[in-house]
A = this chain, B = another copy of it.
Amino acid sequence: MLEISNLTHTYGSGPGAHHALGGIDLKVAEGELVCIVGPSGCGKSTLLRSIAGLLRPTGGKVVLGGTAVDRTPDDLAVVFQDYSRSLFPWMSVADNVSLPLRRKDMDKKQRRSAAMEALEQVGLEGAAAKYPWQLSGGMQQRVSIARALAYRPSLLLMDEPFGSVDAQTREDLEDLTLRVRSHHNMTILLITHDIDESVYVGDRVVVLSKAPARIVGDLRVDLPAPRDQITTREHPDFVHLRAEVGRLVRGMRSQSAPAS
């Protein structure tokens, strides 16, 4: 489905240039859920934006479904890290969610009900008529998740999508993502800082090094499906993988650790 080969990106030029991606090779099969973890500022969002065609990488190639990505591919949805800025303040929450559905063959009523369903799934059925700036941070983040899920893209890119919600909601959203994925056969790339989460939801966990980002680990997660918040997290493989990923992330950061 998705094939990334030798992707590099450098921001700026001259002495102030920043070499963010240092040659990424990655293959993602259709229907896979790949989690990407890595130290803060390593280049995860950059990678995601290149895949979405929002950034022209300075080198390498992204091929999606057989064709090279040079503009934003069709049938793609993104949950941005900076979710609050990606909601439109002039539209109600329901309109924000249903707007992308105009691209689908849906009439107004269908769009509306799809939006309401997605909002319900993220626990925001009561906020449909409100405006984004009337919501708390976590609620805004859920709106942008609802928008992406309602769109039912074949490729879904999520950039730290559950960072601003409480533990319980987070678990619910993780399970929601897993369910939606298997129902609609989406391919998902999910960036997260929560190592437990990456192992819990991912079919694979890809670990990036600090800048310039390179892949330093690509672990297959072979936990029994369907996953379950309690039993899966108690599974010995889970515990083992979590430790493995943790080691990979940490190992790469020894030099850039905050002064202690």
Most buried by B among A39, A170, A195, A257: A39
Beta-carbon contacts under 8 Å, A119-148 to B: 120-123, 129, 134-139, 142
User: Is A193 within 8 A of B170, CB to CB?
Assistant: yes
* A11 CB contacts on chain B under 8 angstroms: 134
**Contact residues in B for A170 (Cβ distance below 8 Å):** 193
Q: Is the CB of B122 within 8 A of A166?
A: no
Q: In whole angstroms, what is the CA distance A172 to B120 when docked? A: 37
The residues of B that contact A38 with a CB separation of less than 8 Å are 166
Among the listed B12, B44, B173, which residue makes an inter-chain contact with A258, where contact means beta carbons less than 8 Å apart? B173
Copies of this chain, tallied across the complex = 2
Q: Is A249 an interface residue (CB 8 A)?
A: yes
Bound complex: CA A44 to CA B139 (Å): 13
Contact of A259 among B121, B164, B167, B256 (CB under 8 A): B121
- Shortest CB-to-CB span from A182 to chain B, Å, is 15
Question: Among residues 6 to 27 in chain A, which have CB atoms less than 8 Å away from a CB atom of chain B?
Answer: 11-12, 16, 18
Residue of B nearest to A84 (CB): B82
Report which of B81, B137, B250, B256 forms a contact with A81, defined as CB distance below 8 A. B137
CB of A37 within 8 A of chain B?
A: yes
- Complex: A193 Cα to B82 Cα, angstroms: 18
Residues of B within 8 A of A95 (CB): none
Contact partners of A122 in chain B: CB under 8 A: 258
Minimum Cβ distance to chain B for residue A198 (Å): 10
Chain A residues close to B by CB (< 8 Å): 11-12, 16, 18, 37-45, 81-82, 84-85, 120-123, 129, 134-139, 142, 159-160, 163-170, 172-173, 175-176, 193-195, 246, 249-250, 253, 256-260
